[in-house]
Copies of this chain bind each other. A is one copy, B any other.
Amino acid sequence: MIKTEMLRVFVEVARAGNLVRAAESLGRAPSAVSMTLKQLEAHLGQPLFESERKSRLTALGTYVFEMSNRELAHFDRTITALTDFASARRGEVRIAVVPSFAMTILPELVLEFTAASPNVRLDIHDMDSASIQRELDRERIDLGIVSDARQSAEVRLVELAEDHFGVVMRADNPLATCKKVSWQALAKADLIANPLCERIDEPELHGALARAHLRVHNTTTLLTMVRAGLGVTLLPELVCQQADSQITFRELASPVAPRRIDLISRARDTPSPATSAFAEFLTARMAERTDILLAKA
């Protein structure tokens, strides 16, 4: 049976034009090289060299030399691809991320990761948490960054950060003078309701939300309303990162349960090395972060 090693030996001898030097560069004794060559010739049934001195190739030798070179190059590329993939130097990671994270923290992390792993392709989509869950189930993505996910037999979960709710207002709003905003102070302001803050489980807030004249879904629109002075709203700090200096964020005097940002993946599957590497990179970098806005519990 013809093996790649035979081809490698033959190519080296043909290139060196000499068995001794070939043996040297292959790290073998000349006799071993001679025998391997004999074996290959036996398989082909024809000599590869014109004479015993391995300098001139026969027509068969020339053909085998060319084909072997191609084959070995192909083989070596394949092996490199395999080891690169296995060591996360190569691969593809499909990630879906909630917009608040995608627009604020993610870019710098991606920049750093791709600089270190230029051959790993990151495929980033942004969508809402429910869609991300669905896409993960369908194996259309490898990782998801969502808010308040639930761990399950299907879902592996790591907490990346905690995002605290606070009051978002225009910079000139009277509330901006306080360091922290109490429920009483908030009650006096015009509150704009939004889906994120409605999930907060806090009796004091429910009344205020019930009194709200305005309810806005889209975050960008919501911030535009605030900027226009139509009222204040309640949002996780991270979401406000998208805003400009016209917008001011203030903590609540009695903080409510933070909104968790979680990294999720399919529990039943071993992720690809590149996916693991990216996940580990993310969790490590997020664990290091001590920014006020994302202080861990």
**Inter-subunit contact B59/A271 (CB<8 Å):** yes
**Inter-subunit contact B85/A63 (CB<8 Å):** yes
Does A128 touch B at the CB level, under 8 Å? no
| Smallest beta-carbon distance A52→chain B, Å | 13
* Of A39-47, A148-156, A186-194, A243-251, the one touching chain B: A39-47
Does A86 touch B at the CB level, under 8 Å? yes
Query: Which residues of chain B are within 8 angstroms of A68 by Cβ–Cβ distance?
Result: 78
* Of A69-77, A113-121, A223-231, the one touching chain B: A69-77
As a 0/1 sequence over residues 85 to 122 of chain A, the CB contacts with chain B under 8 angstroms (1 = contact) are 11100010000000000000000000000000000000
CA distance A50 to B272 in the complex (A): 12
As a 0/1 sequence over residues 53 to 89 of chain A, the CB contacts with chain B under 8 angstroms (1 = contact) are 0000011100110011011001100110111011100
Query: Which residues of chain B are within 8 angstroms of A268 by Cβ–Cβ distance?
Result: 50
**Inter-subunit contact A82/B46 (CB<8 Å):** no
Residue of B nearest to A77 (CB): B71
Most buried by B among A50, A83, A270: A270
Query: Which residues of chain B are within 8 angstroms of A74 by Cβ–Cβ distance?
Result: 71, 74
Does A220 touch B at the CB level, under 8 Å? no
CA distance A60 to B136 in the complex (A): 18
CA distance A47 to B276 in the complex (A): 13
| Given A74-B74, A75-B75: A59 in contact with B3 (beta carbons within 8 A) | no
Query: What is the oligomeric copy number?
Result: 2
Does A17 touch B at the CB level, under 8 Å? no
CA distance A45 to B95 in the complex (A): 24
Does A269 touch B at the CB level, under 8 Å? yes
**Inter-subunit contact A60/B85 (CB<8 Å):** yes
| Smallest beta-carbon distance A143→chain B, Å | 12
**Inter-subunit contact B271/A43 (CB<8 Å):** no
**Inter-subunit contact A46/B86 (CB<8 Å):** yes
| Given A82-B67, A275-B59: A270 in contact with B47 (beta carbons within 8 A) | yes
Residue of B nearest to A61 (CB): B270
Does A25 touch B at the CB level, under 8 Å? no
**Inter-subunit contact A87/B2 (CB<8 Å):** no
CA distance A233 to B75 in the complex (A): 66
CA distance A5 to B82 in the complex (A): 15
Does A4 touch B at the CB level, under 8 Å? yes
Does A30 touch B at the CB level, under 8 Å? no
Does A273 touch B at the CB level, under 8 Å? yes
Could you list 5 A-B pairs, sorted by A, with CB under 8 Å? A3-B3, A3-B5, A59-B275, A60-B86, A67-B81
Known: A59-B269, A67-B82. 9 other contacts (CB 8 A): A2-B82, A47-B270, A58-B270, A59-B271, A60-B273, A63-B82, A63-B272, A64-B85, A71-B75
